Chain A
Amino acid sequence: MKQEHESSQESPADRLAGELLDANGSEVEIPAPQSLSTFDKSRLADLLWLNALLEQIYRPEDASGRSRVDRAMQVRWNSDRPMEAEKPFVDHVADRTSQVRRSRIGRRWIVAVTTVALILAGVWFQATAPSRQAQAAVAEICRVAAEPLDREYLVTLTMGGLPPSLVGKVEPRFQATLFVRGGSAFVVNAPSLIQAGGFWFGRDPSGPWLKPSIGPVLSGPGGAVMQALQPDENSPFLQITRVLNKIADRYDVQLLPDDIPARGTLVAVGRCQRIRAQLRRDSNSERLPDDIEVYSDHATGNVVRLVLHWNRELPSRLTQMEFDFVQQSHQPDNWYRPEGHLQRIDK
């Protein structure tokens, strides 16, 4: 006998569904549904619904409704005529019928026009199908990214346009650790930028903040640093959901063949869904990346790698930002506030 060791906890809904579907359902003592949480109830609905659909696939003779219609329609049919119901329903159908008759003269024209419209729609549909598939994929990735889960990414910034005398032949690269919680908060730890222990900065629903390695917390609007951190219309780069939403709004997207992320990805992933986004030329957002590449996990929709690239020179000299998924974790509630990092920094 093979045996698997499982570490996952079984939810009440899974347990109940298993008893209902896999044991003899008639012998199961069914708890009051009120005793289930909303989450469990939704889960139970999923499981019961799935089983009913699988029955339609695997046992259509048991589950088909159409095969039962004949029998049902004969049961006491004549003696149960819908006394008041039938007339309005017939009138409704009669109205539709007479409308069709009145329009018979114009039918040929309608058919001709409809045919042309359908052909045009078909051409349009075929021409735009790949784009719409890519947009749908972006929408799904946005949805997954917005889930209120804590995800950790390694961020790599590449700077360009600096004089070789200053930086040598290799473009300077800086790395930081980014934590995001859905679309509501992020926090960055940049230990390599400042030698004395690094600093933390972030944003939660109450606004942006910065905790330097030395000194008080800076928060609220105003000040060059805070303005730089403020993820406004033109600088959405640290909140991954905002990057993805920008893609949906302001970029032309295309699905590329699935691929394994080329480099940088810190977790073992298989072939990923790959999307390339190019900034629309009519966009006047000077600081938005010219193109963005997204790799997402097929199974979960989670972004595993995100590369932002600028072809033009920015005041910041930033030419590329890479986000590589590290892990999903569970952080304390104050993780996205400066309080969560005071001791770590000041000790």
Chain B
Amino acid sequence: MDARSVFEILIREHADMLMAFIRSTVRDGVLADDIFQETLLTAWRRLSSYDKSRPFGPWLRGIAGNTILAASRQHKKVVSVCDEELIQLLDARCELLARRADGDTLDEKLNALRDCVQSLPDAYREVIEQRMHGDEESSPAQADRLGLNLDTWKKRLQRARARLIECLHRKLSIAEAAE
């Protein structure tokens, strides 16, 4: 097995988490794709600096973080955040999910979040699911479709997100305590 094959296996294993990390900060899909590709290319070029005794995911996200910071200087309005501390906070959350949630793939690990969504009250789950399915639709249109005032729709969405964050952190901290 040559280096490329091993590298490709590792990349495929971490690709979804890497993309989630990038899309946490980059709202523009095309730019997110560019950063994803640039990260992989940089990782391949810098393979000699990778310490094989350490996990691959954080190293890859470190490269992605630097790429995002560089991109944010050029595309201020399509990168949500351009701050090292925030990048580190996001990386810590990805690592927590990677290490603590059950499952081998990100999709399996996301079952923890799926459970949280299912446990939401109907009104909150409805607004979350509608929001995630209808990304192209404007907020007023989505609120209207649910028969809600826009402010109410926003508040409900905000509360649903708060509950999901609390639920997910609780699940991950329980998993951590159980180890």
Residues of A within 8 A of B (CB): 1-4, 6, 10, 14, 17-18, 20-23, 25-30, 32-34, 41-42, 44-60, 62-66, 68-69, 71-73, 75-77, 80, 82, 84-86, 88-90, 92-93, 97, 132-133, 135-137, 139-140, 143, 301
Q: Which residues of B contact A14 (CB under 8 A)?
A: 158, 162
Residues of B within 8 A of A (CB): 1-4, 6-8, 11-12, 14-21, 23-25, 27-29, 33, 36-37, 40-41, 44-50, 52, 76-83, 85-86, 89-90, 93-94, 97, 106-107, 110, 113-114, 117, 128-129, 131-133, 135, 139, 147-149, 151-152, 154-158, 161-162, 164-165, 168-170, 173-175, 177-178
- In the complex formed, the residue of B with least CB distance to A24 is B138
B41 contacts A140, C-beta separation under 8 Å: no
Q: Which of B3, B6, B97 has the most CB of A within 10 A?
A: B3
Q: How far is the CB of B152 from chain A (nearest CB, A)?
A: 5
Cα(A236)–Cα(B165), bound, Å: 33
Q: Which of B93, B147, B148 has the most CB of A within 10 A?
A: B93
A86 contacts B27, C-beta separation under 8 Å: no
Q: Which residues of B contact A1 (CB under 8 A)?
A: 147-149, 152
Cα(A75)–Cα(B15), bound, Å: 16
- In the complex formed, the residue of B with least CB distance to A82 is B47
- In the complex formed, the residue of B with least CB distance to A57 is B110
- In the complex formed, the residue of B with least CB distance to A27 is B77
Q: Which residues of A contact B107 (CB under 8 A)?
A: 56, 60
A-B contact pairs, 7 of them (CB 8 A): A14-B158, A25-B28, A30-B76, A71-B37, A72-B11, A82-B46, A135-B178
B40 contacts A72, C-beta separation under 8 Å: yes
- In the complex formed, the residue of A with least CB distance to B157 is A22
B37 contacts A63, C-beta separation under 8 Å: no
Residue of B3, B149, B154 near A93 (CB, 8 A) is B3
B93 contacts A55, C-beta separation under 8 Å: no
Q: How far is the CB of B43 from chain A (nearest CB, A)?
A: 9
Q: Which residues of B contact A97 (CB under 8 A)?
A: 1
Cα(A11)–Cα(B89), bound, Å: 18
B106 contacts A58, C-beta separation under 8 Å: no
Residue of B114, B128, B139 near A23 (CB, 8 A) is B139
Number of A-B contacts (CB under 8 A): 220
A55 contacts B15, C-beta separation under 8 Å: no
Q: Given the interface contacts A51-B24, A65-B16, A93-B3, does A41 sit within 8 Å of B132 by beta carbon?
A: no
Residue of A47, A66, A68, A92 near B37 (CB, 8 A) is A68
B154 contacts A45, C-beta separation under 8 Å: no
B149 contacts A2, C-beta separation under 8 Å: yes
Q: Which residues of A contact B131 (CB under 8 A)?
A: 22
Residue of A25, A71, A84, A301 near B27 (CB, 8 A) is A25
Q: Which residues of A contact B154 (CB under 8 A)?
A: 18, 22
Q: Given the interface contacts A2-B147, A57-B113, A137-B174, does A48 sit within 8 Å of B81 by beta carbon?
A: yes
B20 contacts A48, C-beta separation under 8 Å: no
B90 contacts A73, C-beta separation under 8 Å: no
Q: Which residues of B contact A86 (CB under 8 A)?
A: 3, 47
Q: Given the interface contacts A71-B37, A85-B46, does A59 sit within 8 Å of B155 by beta carbon?
A: no
Cα(A46)–Cα(B49), bound, Å: 30
Cα(A45)–Cα(B133), bound, Å: 22
B110 contacts A53, C-beta separation under 8 Å: yes
B174 contacts A45, C-beta separation under 8 Å: no
A92 contacts B52, C-beta separation under 8 Å: yes
Residue of B3, B117, B162, B168 near A89 (CB, 8 A) is B3
A54 contacts B25, C-beta separation under 8 Å: no
Q: Given the interface contacts A2-B149, A54-B132, A82-B45, does A143 sit within 8 Å of B177 by beta carbon?
A: yes
Q: How far is the CB of A125 from chain B (nearest CB, A)?
A: 12
Cα(A153)–Cα(B132), bound, Å: 42
Q: Given the interface contacts A58-B129, A58-B132, A135-B178, does A20 sit within 8 Å of B155 by beta carbon?
A: no
B40 contacts A41, C-beta separation under 8 Å: no
Q: How far is the CB of A19 from chain B (nearest CB, A)?
A: 10
Residue of A3, A20, A55, A137 near B20 (CB, 8 A) is A55
Q: How far is the CB of B102 from chain A (nearest CB, A)?
A: 13
Cα(A301)–Cα(B7), bound, Å: 43
A48 contacts B80, C-beta separation under 8 Å: yes
A50 contacts B149, C-beta separation under 8 Å: no
Cα(A248)–Cα(B74), bound, Å: 52
Q: How far is the CB of A248 from chain B (nearest CB, A)?
A: 9
